[in-house]
Amino acid sequence: MSVQVRIPTPLRRFTGGSEEVAAAGTTVGSVIDDLERQYAGIKERLCDNEGQVRRFVNIYVNGDDIRFLNNLDSELKDGDELSIVPAIAGG
């Protein structure tokens, strides 16, 4: 099963500049694991040592914040869109 993942500017160095990539998985957590398989190093940016999503990282499934769904266990359907949204920088 495949979902589209929107990659914010600060993480595009991992995806070779791609703004959107495809990843496989049935939950947000398994999609992040698949992203890590494709783009080594990206998971560490998104999750802490305990595997939890970092406090300042916002992940949305079709526009809904996963904190208000089921965090990393939030389920995904084929064709869902997952967005990683950064905090605001700079002035």
Partner 1 sequence: MASSATGSASGDASARPASSSHAPRVTSVLDLVGNTPLVDVTKMAKGLSPRVRLLAKLEGLNPGGSVKDRPALWMMRKGIESGALRQGKTVLDSTSGNTGIALAMIGAALGYPVSLVMPDNVSLERKRIIGAFGAKVIYSSGMEGSDGAILLCREILKKDPDAYFKPDQYFNEANPLAHYESTGPEIWEATGGRVTHFVAGIGTGGTVMGTGRYLKEKNRNVQVVAAEPEDALHGLEGLKHMASSIVPGIYHEEELDRKIPVPTEDAYELCYRLGEEVGLVVGQSSGAALYAALQVARELDEGIVVMIFCDFGDRYLSTNLWHGWVEWAKRRRPR
Binding residues (CB under 8 A) for partner 1: these are: 6-11, 13, 19, 45-46, 48, 54-58, 67, 83, 85-91
To partner 1, the closest distance from the beta carbon of 29 in angstroms equals: 18
Contact 71, 31 (CB under 8 A): no
To partner 1, the closest distance from the beta carbon of 25 in angstroms equals: 20
Q: Which is nearer to partner 1, 1 or 62 (CB)?
A: 62
Burial of 80 from C-beta contacts in 10 A (0-12 / 13-18 / 19+): middle
To partner 1, the closest distance from the beta carbon of 36 in angstroms equals: 14
Contact 20, 6 (CB under 8 A): yes
